[in-house]
Structure 1
């Protein structure tokens, strides 16, 4: 693909051409990183250094102390 151009809006925004977005897998909400290299700016798809866990386990924190590993929930039931 040849060079593509885009205008900068009054808010400093630019539109990445569709063909480039498709080639890089960028969709609405995708993040990009900017780096100044000499006299130009490099824009790259942003990828977290550590991938997000598949399950989400451990992402939420509770203010309550953890339960002991040997806790039996049946002990909460009254006979």
Structure 2
């Protein structure tokens, strides 16, 4: 498939972006796109996150359990 494809507009005004184009741009379910009127056509562009994604997931999960002490030794659980 080339970079230009056609799609129909549904009664709700929705358009399907062809699979090859979604894959090429890294668009998945929930991805956001922006629309801009340029002259006599519409440009659709992927919205990239303002902040880069974190390299580590540390601290992203919340828990109601008390934190594990820093000096906790998991091997101590194996000793009788």
Report the TM-score when normalising by structure 1. 0.61
Q: Which residue of structure 2 lines up, in the alignment, with residue 12 of structure 1? A: 13
Q: Which residue of structure 1 lines up, in the alignment, with residue 30 of structure 2? A: 29
Structure 2: 5+ residue stretches without partners? 58-80
Number of equivalences: 59
Runs (4+) of structure 1 moved beyond 6 Å? none
CA distance, structure 1, for counterparts of residue 35 and residue 9 of structure 2: 15
Partner of 2:4, secondary structure, is coil
Structure 1: 5+ residue stretches without partners? 57-79
Question: CA offsets, 1:32-75, max 9 Å, x none?
Answer: 0101111000001011333355678xxxxxxxxxxxxxxxxxxx
